[in-house]
Homo-oligomer: A and B are copies of this chain.
Amino acid sequence: MIPELKYDDKGLIPAIIQDVTNNDVLMLAYMDEKALEMTIKTGFTHFWSRSRQKYWKKGETSGNVQKVKEIFYDCDEDTLLIKVIQKGQGACHTGNRTCFYRTITKT
């Protein structure tokens, strides 16, 4: 059962995607209610693209799909955490395994 979630003023909720095998955070993307339903129904992550204004299945083109293992929601009901098995080379379109491959250096 999907709980009552708090979507933002654009109807979106951020979804943190975490690799279930090593707990690396792979990416963050946005879902609306329908994208979440598609994710639950198919077992693969689907998002709403804010730049392209359309639904996308992660890895649809690249083959780097994400098989959903578990979906968590937070105490405020305004963020999702989705543990996945990442297929292919990685989550990032740059070819990196995770989108968080750069650090901010302390000044």
Contact = CB atoms under 8 A, between A and B. Distances in A.
A82 B74 CA distance: 17
Given A16-B16, A16-B28, A18-B25, A2 B104 contact: yes
Which residue, A74, A94, A96, has most C-beta atoms of chain B within 10 A?
A74
Contacts of A74: 27-28, 99-100
Interface string A69-107: 011111110010100000000001110100111111111
Q: Is the interface of A mostly helix, strand, loop or mixed?
A: loop
A81 B102 contact: no
Copies of this chain:
2
A60 to B, nearest CB: 18
B107 A94 contact: no
A14 B104 CA distance: 15
